[in-house]
Amino acid sequence: MKKLLIMLIAIAGICCSCNNKSNLKAALEHAGDNRPELEKVLEHYRNDPLKYKAAVFLIENMPGHYSYADTAYMNSYYAAIDSVASLYKYEKDNVKDSLFYQTVTGFTNLKLKPVEDIRVIKSGYLINHIDRAFHSWQTGEWAQHINFDDFCEYLLPYKLCETQDLDDWREYMSHYGDTVMLNRLQYCVFHQNAAYSAGLTTNRNLNDSIPFRWKDKPGPIPVRKISSLLKIPYGTCDDYGLMAFALMRARGIPVAMDITPQWSFRPRGHSWLILVETSGKKIAFEGATTDPVRSHREDIPMAKVFRLTYAKNEEIVNIYRSEKIMPSKLAIPFMKDVTEEYQVTADLEIPVKNSNNHHYAYLSVFDNTSWIPVHWGKLKNKKARFDNMGKRVAYLPVFYEKNGIRPFSDPVIVLSSGEVKTLKADTAVRKHLTLSRKYSLFEGIYNIGHRIIGGKIQIASDSLFTDSVTLHTIDEFGISAREINLGGRADSARYWRYFPPDSAYCNIAELFFYEKDSVTPVMGEIIGTPGSRRNGNRYDKKAVFDRNALTFFDAPHENGCWVGLDFGKPVCIDRIIYYPRNDGNCIEIGDNYELFYWGDNKWQSLGRKKADSARLEYDDCPGNALFLLHDHTKGNEERIFTYENGKQIWW
């Protein structure tokens, strides 16, 4: 946050001084002792009008772009990383992962101070990058379709992100990896000068050239030297995006990075790349992983999407100048709103009833624990207007102040139709809620939810189940725990088991057997198929009775495996609760929960309950409310929801 404020303060100061002088003159004055280096660049291009114009663009927008002042410290940091990374051989290695962790955490960012590029950049460095960028544009194959303005944003900049090491990344990245397939594109008329084909080939080449594992890297200093990033065997979406970003720009392929600062349906945000194809369309892809595609998951709601730019966004600078403080995820002066490129959006106007000292308000989305501002809106005539907001999203209108956000209105939902629904809790209308989960279901569990359908609860008089009788066949998709009420239909039996459908690997997480009128499950000796197709007790038959919903039986064979209990004597079971393989967000028996609703600008408690079944029942809940279910026992994934027609609707 401190670094972001440094950027904004620097730019705001420059913009103020620009009232009486040109942007270029103000930037040169801001350069201080480094001004002669920048004047050398301008003088070098004095007789080349287009390159001179490009140099002016870079210099005018340079204030606020920053690197680290202590280059010796950063050089030792990257040397240490390169040394450890060289030990890897493209495979997961926990010992080397631990060594890498020790290396990066041995350095600290407490010693590092940001310094603006305009105060340290050298004329030779800038001239080299300008010449290389022009060569890629004017004599290369993949950027002939872009105009000068697009060239300035998609090819020209000498750096790709803040704190990037100011080395000659264009030079070594232009020779990185296998360029044979890229050169062969010229032989096909459909691939000649086609940025899409070049981007596709380059991204696949990068994927084949580097070790790849998704993992958040530890350490206080992010790796922002491209040559070091290429050696590390794991990274984040930002890391892989940055590698692809550098490789494509070095090869003259026009690309940029887009971000959603905060997902509207889960924690964190995300970043990816866009490529300007020959038709002028911009297509999205994940660096080093996915091929460029014609859209970026249109089925996934996004509140806002921004494109990172080199040029400053005057609107963001004006907000900071007016408000003196901004949310950290929006305090990036080098980005612009491109949400409309991804989806049909909606404009919102939120009444502002109480007096305040603000000129701007924000819409925020929920990230599991907090409301995170994702866009700004200007106040006018006692209303805050927010343009181009994503649909299928719940928003909370807030002001941003020294102590954080301050809500000033009720949450709103922008429906897929564009209709805006206000969620003002109605305490005069009471309703009953039956809750089965605390978090929405994602693809990982959805994709294996069918493995429980057709599973059978069976009894027998012998341990081999030669005379098995099926008491119940599961016909519901496996997204949460379920209760089977036998209601006296079952005879007493010593052996009870779960027998799965075909191709399911007996994926079941938990089984609870209850005798009539008992709240405590009865236990016996665990029986069934030995072994598992994974290592550890988390995946063998014992996992079904370890009272941990995140462990499950992953049997050694696709078909024919089973798990059950030998009670030692015939017992009569009245009800059974089962957990399919799941994400740990079902209602777990024994956990303590608390339900909240949003009212009067804060979360209001509807009481705590200890789960004794696969469902939680709450009476006297307000109508038209936004809810949140918190598990006090464990876990951290919790999602806001409304309750409609007897179902939890996640936002």
**Backbone torsion region of residue 236, taken as left when φ is above 0, otherwise alpha when ψ lies between -120 and 50, otherwise beta:** beta
Q: What SS3 state is found at 499?
A: strand
Q: How many residues does the chain have?
A: 651
The fold for domain 70-112+122-308 equals C8orf32 fold (3.10.620)
List of residues 6+ apart from 543 with CB closer than 8 A = 509, 537, 551, 552, 553
Mean pLDDT of 432-440: 96
Q: Residue 505 is encoded by which pair of tokens?
A: 């690997």
**Quick one: CA dihedral 343, 349, 354, 357, positive or negative?**
positive
Say how far apart CA 337 and CA 321 lie, in whole Å. Answer: 19
Q: What percent of the chain has pLDDT over 90?
A: 78
Q: Which of 162, 130, 164, 114 is nearest to 333 (CA)?
A: 162
Q: What is the pLDDT of residue 13?
A: 59
Q: What is the pLDDT of residue 215?
A: 76
Q: What is the pLDDT of residue 85?
A: 84
Burial of 131 (0-12, 13-18, 19+ CB in 10 A): middle
Q: Which of 404, 352, 356 is nearest to 381 (CA)?
A: 352
Is pLDDT at 583 greater than 60 in this prediction?
yes
Q: What is the pLDDT of residue 253?
A: 96
Q: What is the pLDDT of residue 15?
A: 57
Selected residue with higher pLDDT from 267 and 42: 42
The answer to whether domain 431-441+588-650 has CATH 1.20.81 is no
List of residues 6+ apart from 127 with CB closer than 8 A = 41, 44
Q: What is the pLDDT of residue 152?
A: 98
Residue 610: count of CB within 10 angstroms of its CB: 12
Q: Are 164 and 223 in contact (CB under 8 A)?
A: no
DSSP assignment of 529-585:
----SSSSGGGSGGGGGSS-TT--B--SSSSS--EEEEEEEEE-EEEEEEEES--S-
Residue 385: CA count within 13 A, CB half-sphere: 6
**pTM (predicted TM-score):** 0.90
Q: What is the pLDDT of residue 259?
A: 96
- Helix count and strand count (H, E) for the chain: 15, 30
Q: Which of 524, 512, 517, 443 is nearest to 481 (CA)?
A: 512
What is the pLDDT of the chain when averaged over all its residues? Answer: 92
Residue 222, amino acid: P
pLDDT in tens, 113-168: 999 999 999 999 999 999 999 999 999 999 999 999 999 999 999 999 999 999 99
List of residues 6+ apart from 392 with CB closer than 8 A = 264, 301, 414, 415, 416
List of residues 6+ apart from 42 with CB closer than 8 A = 52, 55, 56, 59
pLDDT band at 491 (very low <50, low <70, confident <90, very high): confident
Q: What is the pLDDT of residue 179?
A: 84
pLDDT in tens, 403-422: 999 999 999 999 999 999 99
| Highest mean pLDDT, choosing among 8-17, 48-57, 259-268 | 48-57
- Name the DSSP class of 634: S
Mean pLDDT of 367-378: 96
The helix-helix angle for 123-138 and 35-44 (nearest 10°) equals 30
Mean pLDDT of 615-644: 96
pLDDT in tens, 328-372: 999 999 999 999 999 999 999 999 988 889 999 999 999 999 999
Selected residue with higher pLDDT from 609 and 109: 609
Q: What is the pLDDT of residue 16?
A: 55
For Cα atoms 203, 176, 75, give the angle at the middle one, nearest 5 degrees.
Answer: 110
Place of tokens 């994974």: 534
